[in-house]
Structure 1
């Protein structure tokens, strides 16, 4: 899928396309990285196809939805889910185990800062669920971290336009 195709999806389906693509990214499914998707949403907003605030809020809602799905899988599936995941992706075992310990120690602050670290920001939801972190604390800290992350990237696309895509590509 090329950037032109993504922009066509944005044009054809509007905010729904942004939501679905960002949701898939937050679920760690193959696709475009946030450094491409979010600036595209910002560029789309800068071109007047959507206002900046709704574009940002759509990406935050999608990110939070994806994070809550992974949290739920970790919470309900617990250790069984984690073991199957680690069997499939054994190289992530040290990161996941470290995050579990870190979440237990740092709680909400740990989730917030984890949402600002590439790769870890999407994976941290599973160990948060496995560790049975309080859902309200998880949701608030995730929302704040997702907001900061997405604001940076959507804002970069909005204010710097196509130049930001050249940087990330």
Structure 2
């Protein structure tokens, strides 16, 4: 079985509009794993369903429109309602209130990171437009940073799917997506560990120097 492959067949019926719709859907339907869909889209590009540039641009436009819509909606809703929305989204994508609060506090003082790098972090990228709206980041800064981050994210996974299928022509889209997920989980854990060690290192050195 190849659920992602079947999904790509449906997207292909609508061409570029299908790609744009899928890019928007991954922002509002947490059950759709964007990395998996993008990998499958890359596989389809290798099979000449669409070109790689068209796949990147189409999905990026949809994702950008979805992210911008969330951001603008949050600014219009106000802080109280937007915070409730943020917690609701977090529940659906597996983020606890504590982790959301920590992300909010951390990103509040790092706007540049929020606008670009947060689009490259699994799960966090889904709530980053909401946080950006709560923090009241300027629209121009949010949209420019998000556009860059989305292009990097989409290009990476579409290219990965495209090149993998050239090496392994008969690979199953869903199986490849699961392998990508495992790689993402391991990478995220290593990055978190490295960040944690980096923050602890000065304290350990200071403690050692006082002995």
How does the TM-score come out when normalised to structure 1?
0.87
Task: Give the conservation status (yes or no) of the 8 Å contact 1:73–1:81.
Answer: no
From 119, 128, 132, give the equivalent of 2:132.
Answer: 128
Q: Which runs of 5+ in 1 are unaligned?
A: none
Separation in 1 of the partners of 2:74 and 2:103? Answer: 13
TM-superposed deviation, 1:61: 0.8
Q: Which runs of 5+ in 2 are unaligned?
A: 179-211
Residue number in structure 1 paired with 2:48: 48
Matching of residue 67 in structure 1 with residue 76 in structure 2:
no
Task: Give the conservation status (yes or no) of the 8 Å contact 1:22–1:63.
Answer: yes
TM-superposed deviation, 1:87: 5.9
Residue number in structure 2 paired with 1:153: 157
Bigger radius of gyration:
2
How does the TM-score come out when normalised to structure 2?
0.71
Separation in 1 of the partners of 2:134 and 2:96? Answer: 15
Matching of residue 168 in structure 1 with residue 177 in structure 2:
yes
Task: Give the conservation status (yes or no) of the 8 Å contact 2:23–2:61.
Answer: no
Q: Please, which moves more after superposition, 118-127 or 72-81? A: 72-81
| Cα deviation digits, residues 118-144 of structure 1 (max 9, x gap) | 000111110101111011111111111
- SS for the counterpart of 1:10 is helix
TM-superposed deviation, 1:157: 1.2
Residue number in structure 2 paired with 1:79: 79
Aligned length: 168
Flag the 1:164–1:122 CA change in 2: closer, same or farther, 3 A: farther
Separation in 2 of the partners of 1:21 and 1:4? Answer: 14
What RMSD over aligned residues (CA atoms) do the two structures have, in Å? Answer: 2.2
